[in-house]
Amino acid sequence: MKVLIVGGGGREHALAWKCAQEARVSRVFVAPGNAGTALEPKVENVDIAAEDIEALLGFAHQTGIALTIVGPEGPLVAGIVDRFNAAGLRCFGPNRAAAQLEGSKAHAKDFLKRHRIPTASYATFTRANFDPQYLRAQRLPLVIKADGLAAGKGVIICETHDQAIAASRGMLEGDFGAAGETIVVEEFLAGEEVSFIVIAHERQVLPLATSQDHKRRDDGDRGPNTGGMGAYSPAPLVTASTHARIMADVIEPTLSGLAADGIAYTGFLYAGLMIGADGTPNVLEFNCRFGDPETQPIMMRLRSDLTTLCEAALDGRLDRCEAAWDARAALGVVMAAGGYPESYRKGEPISGLEAAARLPGKVFHAGTQLTGGNVVTSGGRVLCAVGLGVDVRSAQRQAYDLVAAIHWNLVQYRRDIGWRAIAREA
Ligand code: AMP
């Protein structure tokens, strides 16, 4: 069976690597992929952008692709699944209507409120009805969010009312393009964040291993927000009772709410949750796809075949499925270009990848490219080095041994990925 993975980041390298290990999978194509997927056995890059749905469809037809798995949200929100299905091709992910859960934060908040799923209180505004007095009446800090997709950058946490009003005006006046035409003004929630990712098919659900990521750039969870600087699985914060509460209070009402709204959701569903001091899970956001970098440690732990789970969901057999997991913990450290998440250089040659490949663990590529046989940087987040271990502490050690073997000019990474989990283990 031939599989197509859409996307070119670390998440897609991990998905492709995982699918390529299956005996029944003859070849994995990645569009557009990166240097990591180009070098992976049984995997081949295809020079088609993730957003070019017509070209992807043509390739899938010509090549006899049996299953397409979509990595990023862009093509999902643009309707890639609807297009593939209409052409009789199997494509794993939510359709365009279902992907609105991520495509519009205002839509997601209204959905959460309507179905009484715990989330921060909020109001939405456009330029036409923006009300600074509403903001002044709210408690601080205040969270201002652009409604649409903003590559993980459309959230500003404001410590003063003036700052919140300025951030709102900036978004409404086009700082984030069309994504900011509507904004969500939200109550700030204290607590610890976890990523809760499931495979869903209508009312059927298969929860995947729990994980936590680090969104801030600098050690101690300080500095600017990023796409994610590291992640680990499992998340010790999610005890058995918290897990049961998340399933009962968030995941099940979400799936029944979607069904009640007439939306058939199939695909990965990622709930970004803030777990309060008393264990209450509040939904911060939904993503209609797998997380990056959570995918990398989670795929390292998944023992079951991924394509089997995706096909079970597509066939409505998810309720008869179980996923098997490596009992060990996995931890991934993102190696980023100096200057990320602002401006950074591309084209820096990366050294030490061969030495790292001889060590235990796995280095997944994200922003890399093959140039004349050499691997060079081509993005902000460049690599994710993943270690395994009996606990998060030893997985961290293995991951940083990989990191120590690799170098390029102006590389940056955090030195404390997993610190909360390790403190809990101690
Ligand atoms: P989002 O894209 O909505 O997940 O927001 C990005 C990040 O902003 C989250 O991962 C949180 O760290 C933070 N955040 C978003 N909403 C809130 C909130 N209501 N309270 C506290 N932090 C938040």
Per-residue HEC secondary structure of the chain comes to: CEEEEEECCHHHHHHHHHHHCCCCCCEEEEEECCHHHHHCCCEEECCCCCCCHHHHHHHHHHHCCCEEEECCHHHHHCCHHHHHHHCCCCEECCCCCCCHHHHCHHHHHHHHHHCCCCECCEEEEECCCCCHHHHHCCCCCEEEEECCCCCCCCEEEECCHHHHHHHHHHHHCCCCHHHHCEEEEEECCCCEEEEEEEEEECCEEEECCCEEECCEEECCCEEEECCCCEEEECCCCCCHHHHHHHHHHHHHHHHHHHHHCCCCCEEEEEEEEEECCCCCEEEEEEECCCCCCCHHHHHHHECCCHHHHHHHHHCCCHHHCCCCECCCEEEEEEEEECCCCCCCCCCCECECHHHHHCCCCEEEECCEEEECCEEEECCCEEEEEEEEECCHHHHHHHHHHHHHHCECCCEECCCCCCHHHHHHHC
The rounded distance, in Å, linking the Cα atoms of 249 and 118 is 7
Question: How many residues belong to the chain?
Answer: 426
pLDDT at 177: 85
C-beta of 272 in contact with ligand 1 (< 6 A):
yes
C-beta of 215 in contact with ligand 1 (< 6 A):
yes
Q: Are strands 374-377 and 222-225 parallel, antiparallel or unpaired?
A: unpaired
**284 CA distance to ligand 1 middle (Å):** 6
pLDDT at 4: 98
- 10 Å CB burial of residue 288 (0-12, 13-18, 19+) is buried
**27 CA distance to ligand 1 middle (Å):** 38
Question: Nearest to residue 424, comparing CAs of 267, 251, 194?
Answer: 194
Alpha carbon nearest to ligand 1 atom 1, residue = 285
Alpha carbon nearest to ligand 1 atom 6, residue = 155
Alpha carbon nearest to ligand 1 atom 4, residue = 285
pLDDT at 421: 95
C-beta of 188 in contact with ligand 1 (< 6 A):
yes
pLDDT at 225: 86
Token match 């079970």: residue?
A: 312
Alpha carbon nearest to ligand 1 atom 7, residue = 155
pLDDT at 166: 94
Query: Ligand 1: which of 142, 147, 193, 285 to mutate, judged by most atoms within 8 Å of the beta carbon?
Result: 285
Query: Ligand 1: which of 284, 287, 288 to mutate, judged by most atoms within 8 Å of the beta carbon?
Result: 284
**155 CA distance to ligand 1 middle (Å):** 7
Alpha carbon nearest to ligand 1 atom 3, residue = 285
| Count of alpha carbons within 13 angstroms of residue 240, beta-carbon side | 0
**215 CA distance to ligand 1 middle (Å):** 10
pLDDT at 246: 98
C-beta of 284 in contact with ligand 1 (< 6 A):
yes
pLDDT at 174: 87
The rounded distance, in Å, linking the Cα atoms of 105 and 132 is 20
C-beta of 292 in contact with ligand 1 (< 6 A):
no
The rounded distance, in Å, linking the Cα atoms of 189 and 91 is 36
Mean pLDDT by 10 residues, the chain (426 residues): 98 98 98 98 98 98 98 96 98 96 92 96 94 95 91 86 95 89 94 96 97 96 93 96 97 96 96 93 95 97 98 96 97 97 96 98 98 95 98 98 98 97 92
| Count of alpha carbons within 13 angstroms of residue 175, beta-carbon side | 16
Token match 């699918």: residue?
A: 19
Q: pTM of this prediction?
A: 0.95
